[in-house]
């Protein structure tokens, strides 16, 4: 069995965040859910995280936040709810792996 990871989930939609957090926690990982960029930055000052998943549409800009978090977190993903662009184009443009919100629980199986 793989050791539990510490995950920071930054999700602007509270209902979606609670649902995703529930699914990820079922796998045994420790997860902290926050809804704003400020809360995410505060969280990484207080604790270490193995993974951060950032909502692309978080207020203040998901890409900018992901870049800041990447200085302190080993793996950073951007989560997107709609397929506005192909994943490959998004990843090339922003430099972070993209995971669809519906696929987030599979990332931590």
Q: Encode pLDDT of 37-77 as tens digits.
A: 999 999 999 999 999 999 888 888 888 999 999 999 999 98
Q: Considering only residues 103 and 67, tell me which one the structure prediction assigns the higher pLDDT.
A: 67
Q: Enter the DSSP assignment of 26.
A: T
- Banded pLDDT at 98 (limits 50, 70, 90): confident
Domain 6-107 sits in CATH at 3.40.50.2300
Q: β-pairing, 98-100 with 75-80?
A: parallel
Percent of the chain with pLDDT over 70: 84
Averaged pLDDT of the chain: 83
Position 104 scores a pLDDT of 76
Name the H helices within the chain.
14-25, 37-46, 62-69, 87-94, 104-107
Predicted model pTM: 0.76
Q: β-pairing, 51-55 with 30-34?
A: unpaired
Q: Where are the domains of the chain?
A: 6-107
């Amino acid at each position: 069995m793989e050791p539990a990871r510490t995950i920071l989930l930054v999700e602007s939609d509270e209902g979606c965040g609670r649902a995703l957090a529930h699914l990820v926690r079922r796998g045994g990982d420790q997860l902290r859910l926050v809804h704003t960029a400020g809360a995410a930055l505060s969280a990484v000052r207080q604790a270490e995280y193995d993974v951060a998943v950032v909502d692309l549409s978080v207020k203040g800009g998901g890409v900018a936040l992901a870049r800041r978090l990447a200085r302190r977190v080993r793996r950073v993903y951007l989560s997107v709810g709609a397929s506005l662009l192909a994943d490959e184009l998004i990843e090339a443009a922003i430099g972070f792996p993209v995971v669809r919100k519906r696929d987030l629980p599979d990332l931590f199986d």
